[in-house]
Amino acid sequence: MDLSREMTLADFSGRIGKMFNVHVAGQMVPLRLDALQELPGSKREGGSFRLEFIGPLNPQLGQGVFPFLIGSDQYAIFIVPLGPREQGMRYEAIFY
């Protein structure tokens, strides 16, 4: 996993509706980026932002850090389940 640099808003810009594969217990779980929101007022290098993903209802992921494949790169992203929707299970990641 690439932990050498912080993720930025630019890493996700233009990717709304795109699928990301997440490694979970030896399988790949697809999560679709459903929303991207800039969070103003942060001194975080690369800015602060919020991501919302939609995934399958089964398997559901718990709160924690998961390896996300973004293109050919892999990153550790902390996600929190927000609950189900008609389209699937919602998850949030905040970079602050």
pLDDT of residue 28: 93
Q: Whole-model pTM?
A: 0.89
Q: Is the dihedral of CA 81, 82, 84, 86 positive or negative?
A: negative
* Per-residue model confidence as pLDDT tens for the chain (96 residues): 445 568 888 889 889 999 999 999 889 999 999 999 999 988 888 789 999 999 999 999 999 999 998 778 888 999 999 999 888 999 999 998
Q: What's the rounded Cα separation, in Å, for the pair 32 and 28?
A: 13
Domain definitions of the chain by residue range: 32-95
Which amino acid is present at 3?
A: L
pLDDT of residue 6: 80
